[in-house]
Amino acid sequence: MNNLDRFFSKDIGSFSDSYFKYLKQILDNIDLLEVKRFVEILLDAREKGKTVFFIGNGGSASTASHFANDLSFGCNEYEKPFHVVSLTDNVSILTALGNDFGYEEIFVRQLMIQSKPGDVLVGISASGNSPNIINAFKYASDVGILSVALTAFDGGKMKENADEGIHVPTDFKEYGPAEDAHMILDHLVTAYLMRVIRLA
């Protein structure tokens, strides 16, 4: 039984209060040094003209798309932009690769075509155990791509295979709070980067 099951109440007011308090507890326990390191990686990629690739499944696929949008266009920087690609966005590519090579290959096959050594791969996953993400992280390690894992639960194999990461400390199966926190990290990081670039 996870925390959501423990504090569930048929009273939506009570459940809402408990959910918000628990989400605050999770956010309070995120390591801010991990956030700092992630921001440094993104700024370094921008400075060197490297591409940042985002991947994820399900709700995390949406977060990958959202993060790519906010980082590339939301920062409103065109002279020296962040080069960002979400590998979750092209349905034709995803279905072709899934059909021809298997779902576990949908990200690594795109990286084989689009990435170069020195690029950055950001995986977003609550469990951290999706085979398509693990394959992509192992490929990144083999070819000199820096990998960053945005995780939850216990971090899974993705955390083990990552160079860097931000861990969201939730209990198992708490997908809602995990994905909430990942989206907050998106908005926190991109809000900071937009302003620090403006002041540079």
The helix (run of H) or strand (run of E) holding residue 54 is strand 51-56
Residues, the chain: 200
Identify whether 79 is part of a domain. yes
Letter for the amino acid at 32? L
For residue 83, what are the domain limits? 31-199
Distance of alpha carbon 140 from alpha carbon 54, whole angstroms: 12
Kindly report the CATH number assigned to the domain that includes residue 54: 3.40.50.10490
Structure confidence at residue 72 (pLDDT): 94
Distance of alpha carbon 69 from alpha carbon 84, whole angstroms: 8
Letter for the amino acid at 184? I
Identify whether 22 is part of a domain. no
Structure confidence at residue 199 (pLDDT): 85
Residue 47 class from Cβ within 10 Å (0-12 exposed, 13-18 middle, 19+ buried)? exposed
Distance of alpha carbon 145 from alpha carbon 129, whole angstroms: 20
Distance of alpha carbon 109 from alpha carbon 35, whole angstroms: 29
pLDDT tens for each residue of the chain, 200 residues long: 899 999 999 999 999 999 999 999 999 999 999 999 999 999 999 999 999 999 999 999 999 999 999 999 998 889 999 999 999 999 999 999 999 999 999 999 999 999 999 999 999 999 999 999 999 999 999 999 999 999 999 999 999 999 999 999 999 999 999 999 999 999 999 999 999 998 87
DSSP codes, 155-188? -HHHHHH-SEEEE----TT-HHHHHHHHHHHHHH
Identify whether 57 is part of a domain. yes
Identify whether 6 is part of a domain. no
Distance of alpha carbon 63 from alpha carbon 183, whole angstroms: 6
Query: The tokens 């591409």 sit on which residue?
Result: 51
Distance of alpha carbon 178 from alpha carbon 108, whole angstroms: 24
**How many structural domains compose the chain?**
1
Of 45, 122, 137, the closest CA to residue 87 belongs to: 122
Distance of alpha carbon 193 from alpha carbon 197, whole angstroms: 6
How many CB atoms sit inside 10 A of residue 48's CB? 11
- β-strand pairing of 120-124 with 51-56: parallel
Identify whether 52 is part of a domain. yes
